[in-house]
Structure 1
Amino acid sequence: MSIFHVIVLAVVQGLAELLPVSSSAHVVVAEKLMGLDPSSPQMTLLLVMLHTGTMFAVIVYFWNQWKRAYFSSSDAFQRFAVRVIWATALTGVLGELIKKVIEKTLFKGAEKAEIEQLFGRLDLIAPALLAAGILILIAGLLEKRQMLGAAPKINSTLGLGEGSVTMRQAGWMGAVQGLALPFRGFSRSGSTISAGMLVGASKERAERFSFALAVVLTPAVVGLEALRLVKASHEATASGVPIDLHASLVTSLLGMVFSFFAGLVALRWLSSWLEQGRWYLFGIYCIVASFVVFYLHHVGY
């Protein structure tokens, strides 16, 4: 994989990270179009490191909002911490359960079955994009309907500090995030923010909490993929076809740096797209993108 490939993938990740359109799906499709294998340990680690780079961009971008919402007082931080722990626990339990079910069913009888082997399959990414698009579209249309006064706007802030979500809202967002973990294309941010909106949180509060959940989750995912690459490297060495572990790690770190700067540019450039009333457009985009991915799969990618 060349530096050019890394830069292209980092830019794709950075541009897609803020928008609820599944940056992972876009990166996987870009890898396919460039002839790379998205399911290889090197590429899944690179994908996670690209997410890490944009995660740091998200921290820089949202930090002032998070300080006001979650760190303004010890009480506000305590409420935030409890909700993050609750949501992340649900994510871990549901995500691991779904992963095990998939590995036991789709890989029944196979040795060394790993869900990561499915990450490059466009025939699975396409329906995941479609499902995310429908969820986003429903949440966006309900939001637009409320803005037009056809339905009462739900007040989700009673008794809570600025930026807080309720335990119920956090629980639903964490559960939906668990569904997003095993499926490339089922936008994590799009699905969690939409879930929060559908259970009464404002889009702004759901967005802040969704990205905070991502920051908490990303280090664990990076660690798991790094261990997977090390394990694959040992197995490859034993079989006589060693993986250049050092080169893979350097490439991943380089991708992280590029995606950080691409993410910063994209976050500032694309923030205007998150104005109220436009959320449903991302659902339409995901639905259209799912048909494009279906077509790419049909023609052999």
Structure 2
Amino acid sequence: MSILNVILLAIVQGLAELLPVSSSAHVVVAEKLLHLDPSAPAMTLLLVMLHTGTMFAVIVYFWKSWRRTYFSSVAAFKRFAFLLIWATLLTGILGEVIKKIIEKTLFKGQPKAELESLFSRLDLIAPALAAAGVIILIAGLYERRHRLRSAVSGAVSGAAATLSGADSNLTLRQSTIMGLVQGLALPFRGFSRSGTTISAAMLADAPRERAERFSFALAVVLTPAVVGVEALRLLKAAHEASLAGSPIDLHSSISASLLGMVFSFLAGLAALKWLSAWLESGRWYLFGIYCLLASAGVFYLYKIGY
């Protein structure tokens, strides 16, 4: 894989990961157009290393906000840590259950049953994008209607004062919903993790700022575990390929992944600034419309042979 391809994929990932439009779907489509195999171990490792770059972008961008809210006091931090661990635990349990169900049903009787082998299936990515688009659209319209009602009732200033208070954590119910939705999003390329978790929280009456902060905090906790899983998968594939007489160039794969991480970090910072601006302007629903249009585009690519 050329350096130009790595940089291109990193920019696509960095811009799309932190927007609620499914970076995985965009990267898979880009890989398909570049005639690369998205399900190959080297490519899935590259993808999670690109996620690592955007994870660092999240930390840099949100650090002041997290310090002002989650680290404002010992009580606030304890509450935040509990909700974060709880939501991540739910993600891991549900995600693993769904992964096992898929592998035991779609791959029944096959010796190598890996969910990652489905990641290049555009016919599966298209409906996942559409489902995410519907959820985001509903949440965006729900928020927009709530804004209008608040403006009419003259309650905007009072609501703002409440939201800026000392307690800036989500409720247990809201964090539970976000953890479960994140677990549902993990196995499916195209089912935007950030888009669906933030939207689900908004539909559970969480202020969008809190939902955004918590969703990306969840990503920071989740990313190292995903990187570890994919690194082990690549090492396993390299060992098997070596035994078969066709070794994988691990040095090249790791170097490409690290380069991609740097570029996805830079693109991620730009995307975060745009995302926050769109959230503040109440145009969240437009991301849903985009996902629906992207779903149609992905399905078209599938129909013409990609």
Q: TM class by shorter-chain length?
A: over 0.9
2:142 counterpart of 1:137: no
State whether residues 208 and 279 of structure 2, in contact with CA within 8 Å, keep that contact through their aligned partners in structure 1: no
State the partner residue of 1:89.
89
For 2:275 and 2:131, how far apart are their aligned partners in 1? Answer: 23
Secondary structure of 2:149's partner? coil
1:226-245 residue pairs with structure 2 within 5 A? 226-245=231-250
Q: How far apart are residue 136 of structure 1 and its match?
A: 0.5
2:273 counterpart of 1:268: yes
State whether residues 163 and 208 of structure 1, in contact with CA within 8 Å, keep that contact through their aligned partners in structure 2: no
State the partner residue of 1:111.
111
1:53-87 deviations in whole A, cap 9, x for unaligned? 01101110111001111001110000000000110
State the partner residue of 1:101.
101
2:31 counterpart of 1:26: no
For 1:161 and 1:10, how far apart are their aligned partners in 2? Answer: 38
Q: Which amino acid counterpart does residue 44 of structure 1 have in structure 2?
A: T
State whether residues 10 and 263 of structure 2, in contact with CA within 8 Å, keep that contact through their aligned partners in structure 1: yes
State the partner residue of 1:290.
295
Q: How far apart are residue 200 of structure 1 and its match?
A: 1.3
For 1:37 and 1:284, how far apart are their aligned partners in 2? Answer: 28
Q: How far apart are residue 194 of structure 1 and its match?
A: 0.5
For 2:198 and 2:271, how far apart are their aligned partners in 1? Answer: 19
For 1:139 and 1:161, how far apart are their aligned partners in 2? Answer: 26
State the partner residue of 1:190.
195
State whether residues 19 and 271 of structure 2, in contact with CA within 8 Å, keep that contact through their aligned partners in structure 1: no
1:125-169 deviations in whole A, cap 9, x for unaligned? 00000000000011111111111118999x7969x8443101110
For 1:10 and 1:147, how far apart are their aligned partners in 2? Answer: 36
Q: Which amino acid counterpart does residue 105 of structure 2 have in structure 1?
A: T
State the partner residue of 1:171.
176
Q: How far apart are residue 176 of structure 1 and its match?
A: 0.2
State whether residues 61 and 264 of structure 1, in contact with CA within 8 Å, keep that contact through their aligned partners in structure 2: yes
Q: How far apart are residue 18 of structure 1 and its match?
A: 2.1
1:17-46 deviations in whole A, cap 9, x for unaligned? 221000111111100000000000000000
For 2:83 and 2:275, how far apart are their aligned partners in 1? Answer: 28
Q: Which amino acid counterpart does residue 173 of structure 1 have in structure 2?
A: M
* Structure 1 residues 168 and 269, CA gap change in structure 2 (3 angstroms): closer
Q: Which amino acid counterpart does residue 119 of structure 2 have in structure 1?
A: F
For 1:231 and 1:39, how far apart are their aligned partners in 2? Answer: 14
- Aligned length in residues: 301
User: TM-score under structure 2 normalisation?
Assistant: 0.94
For 1:25 and 1:221, how far apart are their aligned partners in 2? Answer: 17
1:205-244 residue pairs with structure 2 within 5 A? 205-244=210-249
For 2:266 and 2:42, how far apart are their aligned partners in 1? Answer: 22
State the partner residue of 2:16.
16
Q: How far apart are residue 272 of structure 1 and its match?
A: 1.9
State whether residues 66 and 208 of structure 1, in contact with CA within 8 Å, keep that contact through their aligned partners in structure 2: yes
State the partner residue of 1:65.
65
Gaps of 5+ in 1: none
State the partner residue of 1:202.
207
For 1:232 and 1:3, how far apart are their aligned partners in 2? Answer: 22
Q: Which amino acid counterpart does residue 26 of structure 2 have in structure 1?
A: H
Q: Which amino acid counterpart does residue 55 of structure 2 have in structure 1?
A: M
Q: Which amino acid counterpart does residue 184 of structure 2 have in structure 1?
A: L
State the partner residue of 2:5.
5
Q: How far apart are residue 265 of structure 1 and its match?
A: 2.8
For 1:85 and 1:271, how far apart are their aligned partners in 2? Answer: 25
For 2:296 and 2:112, how far apart are their aligned partners in 1? Answer: 32
For 1:212 and 1:199, how far apart are their aligned partners in 2? Answer: 18
Q: How far apart are residue 270 of structure 1 and its match?
A: 4.8
State whether residues 238 and 250 of structure 2, in contact with CA within 8 Å, keep that contact through their aligned partners in structure 1: yes
For 1:216 and 1:287, how far apart are their aligned partners in 2? Answer: 29
Identity of aligned pairs, percent?
73
For 2:298 and 2:188, how far apart are their aligned partners in 1? Answer: 14
State whether residues 91 and 175 of structure 1, in contact with CA within 8 Å, keep that contact through their aligned partners in structure 2: yes
